[in-house]
Amino acid sequence: MNLQPTRKTVAHIVILLGILAAWYTGGTMNRKLAADRAARHPHLQSLETAPPAVLFTTLVLGGFRGLLVDMLWLRVSVLQDQGDYVEVVQLSDWITRLDPNSTEVWQFHAWNMAYNISVMMPDPVDRWRWIQNGIHLLRDEGIVLNPSEPQLYHALGWLYQHKIGGTTDDAHGYYKRQLAGTMQTILEHGFPDYESLRNDTTRTERLRREFKLDTTVMEAVDRDLGPLDWRAPETHAIYWAWQGLPLATGNAALPCERMIIQSLSELVRHGRLHFDRETDTYRQSPDTNLLSRVLTRFETTIQTFDLEGFHAGRRTLVTDAARIFHNQGDPATARRLFERFNAELPPPMRFPDFETFIKSPSDTYYLEPRHNHDVHPNTP
């Protein structure tokens, strides 16, 4: 195309004006769109405050992000099928960064690493590393990018409560030792002295850096529910559920509330740790000091969520506590708890006396008959 110089200048000016017009229109529309987006999806993070990597991929890839996520996800599946896991961390990181506001994506990839991949490792050391990879993804990235999503706090708490605190993984003892061992290097006996901790920036910084634990929140948790042993995985589950709780409204708060109650109940059953790194001793025994706190928590929770599951959970905890006190040689407390619990049971489920109760199987879950098809009569 050969244009005369004047025409060429006019053409350049027209093109320039066109670019400026497009720029102005785009900017105006973008502000409107951003405002509309913020109004409709308040939980989504604004792009202006997003980290550079997320900002870059969002702007450069636009609508193709979804396609790229699919391709990366397929690659994760193929690699997993082949038993080649080295690349999965990087791919999961990219996938979550390409779709940073989808909580399901964060939850899936953290779960995938902590559960699916970890069990493929023969060595507990490798398994623990994969669980930590899952924790890091949720705690250090997912929650940072989505600080107002209670599901992510619950998903993170679940890794502590179930994967580390539970017994389904046959390497669970190793995980518990590792967590307790690291926490013990910061909090010597697991129970923080907040007065001295406030003045000790080294330890506070380590808690923040290595566990993303805020001592102010820890203190609030301990004040309300504790004192808790921070070497125990259940305490970490409580911490993260506690963080997610105020962000959830209505029934969305239920998973976090349930996690707090369940973890506290578990701490009553075996929350007292006897841990010695030198001798590799890790024993758990009941922590009955927490019982009154847990029962109070049950009462307040039931006021908000009057669900049979919470009633049954409380009954089961009380019976367990009665047995614990009985085994610890405190029959008076055991009998008092038994009477309280037995009076709450529906008449057909009641025990005739304390002795019959003590001899009955200890793994019964005391649901109302209408909720439980397998309830067995407790009368002899």
Partner 1 sequence: MRKIAAITILTLRTAIRSRLVAALIVILLIAAVILPGAVRGDGTLPGQVRMAIAYTLGVTRILLSMAALWAAAGAIALEVEDRQIHMVMTKPITAFQVWTGKWLGLLFIHAGMLTIVGILLYAGLMWTLHRSASPAEQDLLREHLYTSRLRIVPEEPDLTTEIQARFNALRQATDGDTSLPDDTLLANLANSIRAERLVVAPGQSRQWILHVPGCQSTVDSRVITLRYRFVSSFRDRLPVTGTWWIGNPDEPRLGSIPVDEKPEGVHRLDIPASARSSSTPWVLTFDNETRDKSNTVVFDFNRGIELLIEDGTMGANLFRGLWIILAQLALLTAVGITVSTGFSMPVTSFTTTALLCICLLSRWAADDSLTVSGDHHGTSSPPPEIVPILTETGEWIINRVAHATNPLFAVSPSNRLADGIRITWAETGHSTLWMLLIYPAILAAIGHIILRRRELALPTT
Other Cβ atoms closer than 10 A to 155: 26
Whole-number minimum distance, CB 108 to partner 1, in Å? 18
Rounded Cα–Cα distance for residues 235 and 183 (Å): 12
Q: Is the dihedral of CA 145, 151, 155, 160 positive or negative?
A: positive
Closest to partner 1 by CB, 100 vs 286, is 100
Write the single-letter amino acid at 11: A
Smallest distance, Å, CB 213 to partner 1? 21
Q: Write out the H or E segment, with its range, that includes residue 316.
A: helix 308-327
- Least distance from C-beta 188 to partner 1, angstroms? 27
- Do 192 and 203 contact (CB within 8 A), yes or no? no
Nearer to partner 1, 44 or 121 (CB): 121
Residue numbers at the binding site for partner 1 (CB under 8 A): 82-83, 85-90, 93, 119-122, 129-130, 132-133, 168, 170
Residue with tokens 């708060």: 253
Q: Which two tokens stand for residue 254?
A: 């239920």
Query: Is 131 strand, coil or helix?
Result: helix
Tokens representing 104 are 């399901």
Q: Which is nearer to partner 1, 135 or 228 (CB)?
A: 135
173 touches 282 (CB < 8 A): yes
Q: Least separation, in Å, of the C-beta of 228 and partner 1?
A: 29
Write down the residue that tokens 């001793």 correspond to: 281
Q: Are 153 and 159 in contact (CB under 8 A)?
A: no
Minimum CB distance to partner 1 smaller for 72 or for 228:
72
Per residue, what are the HEC states of 38-103?
HHHCCCCCCHHHCCHHHHHHHHHHHHHHHHHHHHHHHHHHHHHHHCCCCCHHHHHHHHHHHCCCCH
Nearer to partner 1, 87 or 205 (CB): 87
CB-nearer residue toward partner 1: 133 or 319: 133
Distances (CA, A) of 79 to 114, 117, 121, 127: 16, 11, 15, 18
Give the residue with the Cβ less far from partner 1, 109 or 258: 109
Is 97 or 258 the residue whose CB approaches partner 1 more closely? Answer: 97
